[in-house]
Structure 1
Amino acid sequence: MANSVENQNQHKTLDLPKPKLRCIVKLGGAAITRKNELESINEESLGTVCTQLRKAMANSPAARAAGMDWSRRKGNPINASDLDPVTEFSEIGVDSDFIIVHGAGSFGHFHASRSGVHKGGVHLPLVKAGFVATRISVTSLNLEIVRALAQEGIPAVGMSPFACGWSTRERNVASADISQLIKALQTGFVPILHGDAVLDDLQGCTILSGDVIIRHLAQLLMPDYVVFLTDVLGVYDRPPTDPNAILLREIAVDEDGDWSIVKPALDHSKGQDVEITVAAHDTTGGMETKILEAAMIAKLGIDVFITKAGTEYSERALKGEVRHAPDDWLGTVIRSVRH
C-alpha cells in the first residue's frame, strides 16, 4: 500500500510542468550559525548571504528591496507605512528561479546526536523526545532564515521536508512529493527547505540531510547550477585548519560517479592524499556526504560550486559568473568529465 501511495505521489509530481530553475543553493549550517554555541545564529554572515542572494535574484539592476517581515517579535505596533502597497510593493523585483536548502549548524545536530534520532528506534521514549526536540530546533532556524530573507525583499516560504511528506528507507529518500514546492515556484515564491528529522520505513526515523535533499531536487528539477556555501573556501585535501591544507580547485566526476582531483595536481608520492573529517556531533556525514552528493549532482551534467559564504567568491557563484572557474575565483568546482 505504501509503495502504491508513493508511486501516485511521484506520478502526480512528474505530471506537473517543471519550472525553469536557475540555481539550488545549499546554505551550510556552519556558515550561518556559531558552531560552538548551541542554537546561536551568526547574524552578520546570514545578513551578508541574504543581501548577496537578493542581488543574484534581482531581475534588474535598479530592483529595490522592499521588506516583507511585518511581524513585531518585541510587541511593537505595526506601522501603517509597512503595509503600503503603493510605496513599497509596486513590484517585487526578484526572479523566483532559486531554491534554498539550509543545514542545521548549531541547531538540531546536538539534539539528534544526544538522543540517537539518526540511528532510528522512534518507539523509544528518548528517541521520540529527541525527534520532537530536533524538529523544534531546525524549524526555529528555518523561521529565522526565512525572516532574514524576507527582510531583504525575497518572497521566501519555509517548507519542512517532514511536513511535506518526505520520508526515507534505510536513510535513502523513499518518498518526496515536491508538487507543493513546484506550485510555490510557479506562484513566484522562493522555497526554503532544511535538513530535518523524518520517518524511515525500516528503522523508524532518521535525519535527512540538506545535501541529500539538494541531490534529489537536482535530479528532479535539473537546475542550471548548484552552489554550496560553507564556512571555508571549498574542499581541501585535509582539514582546512591544517596550515599545509591545499584547496582543491576542480574535481571531475566520471559516469560511474567516481571523482578525481583535476586541479591542482597532487603529488601522491609525498603523501598528498585527501583526508576527510566529520565533526563528532554531525549526524549527516559532514564534508564526506557533501562531496559524494555533489558528485552525484555533477554526474547529471550540473556544475557544483563550493565556496565561502559572504565573500566576493560566493556572490559571483550565486550570480552564475564563475561557470569556467576563472583563476581569480577561490572555491571548488565539481563537474562531469563530459564538460
Structure 2
Amino acid sequence: MKYLFLICEIGGESLRGDGKNTFFPILVKDGEVIGFGDVSDDDFHPQQTEVVDGISYVYPIDPKGIERKWRYARQTIEEIKDMLFPKMKKDGSYEIMLGKNFGQYKTVWQSNLYDSSVHGKQLLNKLVPNAEFSFPKSVYAVKDALYAVVKNRKNAKVLDFFGGSGTTAHAVQMLNKDDNGNRIFITTEQMDYINSVLVPRLIANDTNKKNDGFVYMELMPKNLGYLKDVIHSKTTDELKAVYQRMLQGTDTDEPADISFRADLSKIDWVEGFDKNKRLLVKLLDKNGLYYNYSEIDDKNVRDLISDEDYAFNKAFYEGGE
C-alpha cells in the first residue's frame, strides 16, 4: 500500500491563500489522529508541529517553512479521518499521510521501493553481510501487501510457511515500527540458512523496524536423528550399528519408526556400501522424522523432554501465554 502526502506538493495553487478553510491543525496523540482544530486566522503563523498538553497540532507547512494547504477543507476532512496516518519524523514533528485504502487494489504495483536488487539483496547484505541468498524479495513489496490486510489490526498474527531469508517477518517488524503495533509473525523454514541468514536478519539493528525479540524453536527430532546417522556413516559396520539402534533404541532415544512397507524378516545386507545406505534410508518412515504434539503425554516421549519444553508446547498449542 502506497501513501500520499496529505500536504500538497509544491506547485500551482498549493499555498495557504489558494484554498478556503484548508489551513488548520490536525491533532495527533500516541501516533493517531484524534481530531481537527478550527481554521486558523490569517494572521496566525504557527510552527509545522506544535505540542500542547501532550497533543501535537500539525499544520500544512512544508520542510522549508512555507505555509500551504491541506487537500481537504475543514468541513470535509472528518469524512476521511480513518484514512489519515501520522508519520513521525526524526525531529519529533509529524507528516500527515493519506492511505489509499479505498476501492480495489491494482493488479500491477509500480514503485522504486519494489526493486528486489536494492531493497532485497542489498538490504539483506547490509543487515547480514555476505548472506548467501540469491534473490530475496523487496521488503517494501511484502510490507505493502501485508498493510493491505492488517493495517487496522495491530495485534494480527502473520503466518509464513516458507520463511526464506525472513522478508515477511522483517516487513511485520517495519509495520509495527510505523504505528507502534504488536503484530506477531510465525515463520517456518527447514533449510540450514535459518541460523545463518533468517535469525541474524531479524535481530540486526535497523532503525526502520521495531524489534521486540522473538522465540526461536526447532522441532524435536525422532527418525531424523537416525536418518542423519545413516547419511553420515562411512563404513558398513557403522551402518549396521545404526541399524541396531533403529530397532532397539537407546537410553535416550526410542526405536525408529519403520516404514509399514518394510518386511524386516527379509532384510539382508548386500554387496555395496551405497546400496546398504539407500536400504536403511528407505526403511525409515519419513512421516516420523519428528515427534508429533499428539505424542507429548506418552510416557516414553515425556521422559525425553524437559519440563520447560513441555510447558512451552502446552502454552503454544493450547493458546496460553
TM-score range, shorter chain: under 0.3
TM-score (norm 1): 0.22
Larger Rg: 2
Q: Tell me which protein shows more strand as a share of its residues.
A: 1
TM-score (norm 2): 0.23
